[in-house]
Amino acid sequence: MEYHYRYSTDKELSVGKNQLTHEVRETTDDCIKWCAQESQCTSGVYLFDHKACHLLNNIPKIDESGQRNQMSFVKVTTEEDKKCEKSFTEVVNGLNSQPGKTE
Where are the alpha helices (H) located in the chain, listed in sequence order? 28-37, 79-82, 88-96
At residue 67, the pLDDT reads 65
Domains defined for the chain, CATH in brackets: 4-96 (3.50.4.10)
At residue 66, the pLDDT reads 65
Distance CA(26)–CA(37), nearest Å, equals 16
Where are the alpha helices (H) located in 10-69, listed in sequence order? 28-37
Whole-prediction pTM value? Answer: 0.85
At residue 103, the pLDDT reads 45
pLDDT means per 10 residues, the chain with 103 residues, are: 86 86 94 94 94 92 80 89 86 80 47
User: Cβ neighbours of residue 90 under 8 Å, at least 6 residues apart?
Assistant: none
